[in-house]
Amino acid sequence: MSESRAMRADARRNRDAIVAAARDVFDRDEQLRFDDFAARAGVGVGTLYRHFPTREALAAAVYEGEVATLVEHARDPEHSAIENLDAVLRGFVEYLVGHAGLARTLAAVVDPAVQADGGVELEGTIGELLRQATADGAVRPGIDVGAIMIVLHGIGSATDRPDWASESRGAVELLLAGLRASRSPSASTGDR
Q: Does 34 share its domain with 61?
A: no
Q: What is the CATH number of the domain that holds 175?
A: 1.10.357.10
Task: Name the domain count of the chain.
Answer: 2
| Angstrom distance (rounded) from CA 84 to CA 103 | 22
| Angstrom distance (rounded) from CA 108 to CA 148 | 23
Q: What is the pLDDT of residues 64-96, one digit of tens each?
A: 998 898 888 888 899 999 999 999 999 999 988
Q: What is the CATH number of the domain that holds 8?
A: 1.10.10
What is the pTM for the complete model shown?
0.79
* Residue 192 maps to a domain: no
Q: Does 11 share its domain with 62?
A: no
* Residue 91 maps to a domain: yes
Q: Does 120 share its domain with 153?
A: yes
* Residue 187 maps to a domain: no
Across 98-124, average pLDDT: 86
Q: Model confidence at 3, in pLDDT bands (50, 70, 90)?
A: very low
Q: Domain containing 37: what range?
A: 1-53
Q: What is the pLDDT of residues 44-69, one digit of tens each?
A: 999 999 999 999 999 999 999 988 98
